Amino acid sequence: MIRINENYLNLKASYLFSEIARRVSSFQEKNPGKKVIKLGIGDVTRPLPGACISALHAAVDEMSAQGTFYGYGPEQGYAFLREAIAENDFRSRGADISADEIFISDGAKCDTANIQEIFARDIRVAIPDPVYPVYLDTNIMAGRAGDLSDGRYGNIVYLESTAGNGFVPELPREKVDLIYLCFPNNPTGATITRDRLSRWVDYARENRALILYDAAYEAFIRDDAIPRSIYEIPGAREVAIEFRSFSKTAGFTGLRCAFTVVPRDCAAYDTSGCAHLLHGLWNRRQTTKFNGVSYPVQRAAAAVYTEEGRAQVRSLIDYYLNNAGHILNKLKGFGYSCVGGDNSPYIWVDAKTDSWEFFDLLLEKAGVVCTPGAGFGRCGQGYVRISAFNDLERVVEAMERIGGTI
């Protein structure tokens, strides 16, 4: 008899986006003439930068000719891309990362999901609340989360992000082994200071723990005082893996390219306390289960680091940041407390009521779709996430409509 992995039965039904879709379509049925503005999703809306498109076309042409055709590439990614990343994203900012510590992939979602495979099942995992759901669900699938009681899994240490701590969790009181952090944060849009991040790095060093640092929204940081990489913090090379993505940086959500940094100094321990380098383990995992990102897509990603590409990416991010600034100013003007919206494409709004009630209010009265914070965890209750990923005209109209409503 074929049997299932029963950990999957322990997953909570993921009804957030399907419930949003259901409520939106029911609203549209009742109001066929009303145009709904979607500020709920975390997907980009602007086309790829021209430099990436040119590189993509050129690479496709190479693939069409006998002498320049590429078959399987290195599982870890082509050197041209790994070197461009190491130089531009890390070394130029004083972070000591080399090209061979960078693993190119087709998404930060799969990397943040897969990384837990290389750790023991009985480690203690700390996960933010509210959270990008992938971290929690993949640990549930792996059997690490324990039983669900009153909306929380017994073996997970929840790192609560609340107005009280500025949406940056405090260090856990109990000892944890694996720590997920995400800054600029999805869903709250909060950023972390160098000082607060240093405390996490120190904690990890003192406890032989590991930080999984999701920096998918790093490109939105414009304030130089905010760290863009965890490797800007001394000692982080020994205790942190960082995830980055071209998805939100350069509009690659449909093209797919990301990378994970596993420094050669990062270790985890076997039952006898003997250290094993994570670089080798992740390399083994990737070479076994992954066959690399396509050559044209890696060429498109490398174009992000050309002079032209850099300027285009900057203006792309500027566009969304301008949207975010508009949303933030308007909502504050309407009397709402918000976090995010600067150095981040997300605005986390204190709804002053139940998340879903506020969602319904915005939908019914203004025809604007947001994401109820309660869908991201218990601490998200009472908040909604508004996304700046849309056209400016839509954003302006959405704020006008909300202003006329609340």
Q: What minimum distance in Å lies between the beta carbon of 253 and ligand PLP?
A: 5
Question: CA 124, CA 172: separation in Å to the nearest integer?
Answer: 11
Nearer to ligand PLP, 330 or 383 (CB): 383
Element (H, E) at 280: helix 278-289
Question: Considering only residues 101, 214, 242, 342, which one is a binding residue for ligand PLP as defined by CB under 6 A?
Answer: 214
Q: What minimum distance in Å lies between the beta carbon of 135 and ligand PLP?
A: 9
Peptide bond between residue 169 and the one before it cis (omega within 30 degrees of 0): no
Question: Considering only residues 114, 116, 186, 294, which one is a binding residue for ligand PLP as defined by CB under 6 A?
Answer: 186
Q: What minimum distance in Å lies between the beta carbon of 389 and ligand PLP?
A: 10
The full DSSP string for 154-185 is: TTEEEEE--GGGTTSPPPPSS--SEEEEESS-
Question: CA 130, CA 357: separation in Å to the nearest integer?
Answer: 18
Question: CA 82, CA 259: separation in Å to the nearest integer?
Answer: 9
Is residue 42 a contact point for ligand PLP (CB under 6 A)?
Answer: yes
Question: Considering only residues 108, 281, 328, 395, which one is a binding residue for ligand PLP as defined by CB under 6 A?
Answer: 108
Is residue 216 a contact point for ligand PLP (CB under 6 A)?
Answer: yes
Is residue 348 a contact point for ligand PLP (CB under 6 A)?
Answer: no
Is residue 130 a contact point for ligand PLP (CB under 6 A)?
Answer: no
Q: How is the beta sheet containing 178-182 ordered, strand by strand? A: 102-105, 258-261, 240-245, 210-214, 178-182, 125-129, 156-160
Site map for ligand PLP, 232-271, x if CB under 6 A?
Answer: -------------x-x-----x----x-------------
Is residue 182 a contact point for ligand PLP (CB under 6 A)?
Answer: yes
Q: What minimum distance in Å lies between the beta carbon of 1 and ligand PLP?
A: 36
**74 touches 286 (CB < 8 A):** no
Question: CA 138, CA 144: separation in Å to the nearest integer?
Answer: 9
**171 touches 200 (CB < 8 A):** yes
Element (H, E) at 259: strand 258-261
3-state SS, residue 221: coil
CA dihedral of residues 282, 284, 289, 291 (deg, nearest 10):
90
Is residue 309 a contact point for ligand PLP (CB under 6 A)?
Answer: no
Report residue 180 as tokens: 């997920």
Nearer to ligand PLP, 75 or 214 (CB): 214
Instruction: Point out the residue whose Cβ comes nearest to ligand PLP.
Output: 107
Which window, 105-113, 146-154, 193-201, 273-281, contacts ligand PLP (CB under 6 A)?
105-113
Question: Considering only residues 107, 128, 251, 296, which one is a binding residue for ligand PLP as defined by CB under 6 A?
Answer: 107
Backbone angles phi, psi at 349, to 5 degrees: -110, 130
Backbone angles phi, psi at 180, to 5 degrees: -95, 130
Which window, 101-109, 230-238, 282-290, 358-366, contacts ligand PLP (CB under 6 A)?
101-109
Nearer to ligand PLP, 42 or 340 (CB): 42
Count residues near ligand PLP (CB under 6 A). 14
Residues that bind ligand PLP (CB under 6 A): 42, 107-109, 112, 132, 182, 186, 214, 216, 245, 247, 253, 258
